Amino acid sequence: MTLLRNLQGRFHETRLPMKKHILDRYERMADGRVVIDVSASKVAELYENFDKTAPYHKKDLDEDLAYYLTECAREIGRVDFVIRFTLDTMPSEELRERVQTSLHKFFMYQRELEIASMKKMVRKSLVFFMLGVTLLFFSLWFAGTLLHGMESAFIRSVLVEGLTIAAWVSLWESLATVLVEWRPYQQLIHLNLRIAFAPVLFLSGSVHR
């Protein structure tokens, strides 16, 4: 597929080692905004084919295209950018508006998915935290109350130390989950928001012939 070949070739460049002047590989607008270029023969190539009857504003973007846009936006960083689609023929104004709407809705939906995943991560972290606190409470309770009547010091030590270790492991898991996963989720949420609201331009491929 033409779109897939174009994206694979362009994406190969985005995977090169990060360099100081990495943005020099992108074309810029007169106002300095970076241009993320996408070439396709027709609008239909921008979308998945599993639902051919759905209107474009309700269809999912092509998976390779969505990945390409995300990685380009990630590479560009905080610099403002526009997304420019170069097609064989210029689509009608109505079709251009539908493409812009579908692009916006798709990445806003991706943002909502990331927010949902982040909330799930937070709930998981809270569960580990509460479990850790509970286990720590029981380890202190056993050590100070229930186990004084036990004849075996070994059994008492194993129970208390086992509960204490389990408590700290659970607390550490809670902390590590937030520290490790929070920032990536925040970055993806912001990234999807930037793509969703990025200006979209259209260009006819015939102007380059």
Domains in the chain: boundaries: 2-112+194-208, 114-189
Neighbouring-strand partners of residue 38: 85
Q: Are the CB atoms for 48 and 59 separated by under 8 Å?
A: yes
d(CA 1, CA 49): 12
| pTM confidence score | 0.73
Q: Are the CB atoms for 87 and 43 separated by under 8 Å?
A: yes
- Per-residue pLDDT for 201 more than 70? yes
Query: Could you read off the pLDDT of 81-124 as tens digits, one per residue?
Result: 999 999 998 988 998 998 999 999 999 999 999 999 999 999 99
Q: Confidence class of residue 180 from pLDDT cuts 50, 70 and 90?
A: confident
Closest CA to 203 of 57, 129, 96: 96
Closest CA to 44 of 73, 3, 101: 3
∠ CA(103), CA(25), CA(208), 5° rounding? 70
Cβ partners under 8 Å of residue 183, min gap 6: none
- Per-residue pLDDT for 59 more than 70? no
Exposed (0-12), middle (13-18) or buried (19+): which is 21, by Cβ within 10 Å? exposed
Q: What is the mean pLDDT of the chain?
A: 81
pLDDT, average across residues 148-171: 75
Here the tokens at position 207 are 């102007």
Q: Specify the pLDDT at position 104.
A: 93
Here the tokens at position 38 are 């996408």
Q: Confidence class of residue 135 from pLDDT cuts 50, 70 and 90?
A: confident
Here the tokens at position 52 are 């051919």
Q: Where are the alpha helices (DSSP H) in 1-151?
A: 2-14, 63-76, 93-144
d(CA 26, CA 120): 37
Closest CA to 102 of 65, 143, 132: 65
SS3 call for 31: coil
Q: Specify the pLDDT at position 128.
A: 92
Q: Confidence class of residue 14 from pLDDT cuts 50, 70 and 90?
A: very low
d(CA 111, CA 193): 7
